[in-house]
Amino acid sequence: MKAKFDELIAQVKPLFKDNGFTKNGLNFYKNTPDFIYVVNFQKSNGNTAFETRFYVNCGIYGAFIDAATGKETVLKPKEYECHFRERISSITGSKAAYYEINENTDTEALCQNLTNDLAAVFRFFGEIKTEQNLIDLILDRNGLAVIDQLFEYLLIKNEQEILTSQALNLFEKYGHEARWKIFERRINDLLKKYKKDEIKFEKIKILKNIEISIYY
């Protein structure tokens, strides 16, 4: 099925070119003054000679974030190095997490489906035009990953109010999970690094429980 996969990539390559992307291996890049947009084709580790599954990973890299936090900026970021990352299915709303090629696959229909999905991704990328657009997107959709990707940037830019609000939102969503303590330490270690007051998550939880008990 490798030949059919390679043929599929060749068929969608002009679509990428028309939308300003260049190809590097199984990665496609579009550079703008503010961002690098990335689309990555990831083959499944479980592929066989008779079946190929692959994922499409999408990312947006904002060099301004790494520059502000003193990290080395990259010219061709891997998808996992991007500040915003999602599978194509999350962007398109598709229930299918991956694409599949086997001997029964209608390759023409698959190509059309992939073309439509990529067009949706390009429209999505087109909506992220400013640094604030990317920051808002990360805050809205990156979940716990936002702690490592954006919190230090917010502190450097004196946006502690946004950080605190986001941290409390994360605590509300993930605070009941055992892994939360790891992320709580990361948040408060960052705050201490910049000589800011720690967030007393447990105290907030107790106060909230008291409020709930009084209400009922």
Region 135-148: mean pLDDT is 94
| Domain ranges (residues) in the chain | 2-126, 143-215
Residue 214 has pLDDT above 60, yes or no: no
Tell me if 85 sits within 8 A of 58, measured CB to CB.
yes
In degrees rounded to 5, what are phi and psi of residue 128?
A: -100, 95
Residue with the bigger pLDDT between 205 and 168: it is 168
The pLDDT tens digits of the residues spanning 2-18 come to 889 999 999 999 999 99
Q: How far apart are CA 79 and CA 73, in angstroms?
A: 14
Helices (H), the chain: 2-18, 63-68, 88-92, 107-126, 131-141, 146-156, 160-174, 180-193, 201-215
Nearest residue to 144 (alpha-carbon basis) of 113, 170, 106: 170
Q: Measure Cα distances from 120 to 80, 89, 123, 192 in Å.
A: 21, 10, 5, 42
In a 13 Å sphere around the CA of 214, the CA atoms on its Cβ side amount to 6
Q: Are strands 22-24 and 27-31 parallel, antiparallel or unpaired?
A: antiparallel
Tell me if 82 sits within 8 A of 38, measured CB to CB.
yes
Residue 206 has pLDDT above 80, yes or no: no
Q: How far apart are CA 216 and CA 210, in angstroms?
A: 10
Q: Give me the percent of the chain exceeding a pLDDT of 70.
A: 94
The pLDDT tens digits of the residues spanning 68-112 come to 999 999 999 999 999 999 999 999 999 899 999 998 999 999 999
The secondary structure of 89-145, three-state, reads HHHHCCCCCCEEEECCCCHHHHHHHHHHHHHHHHHHHHCCCCHHHHHHHHHHHCHHH
In the DSSP assignment, the letter for residue 83 is: S
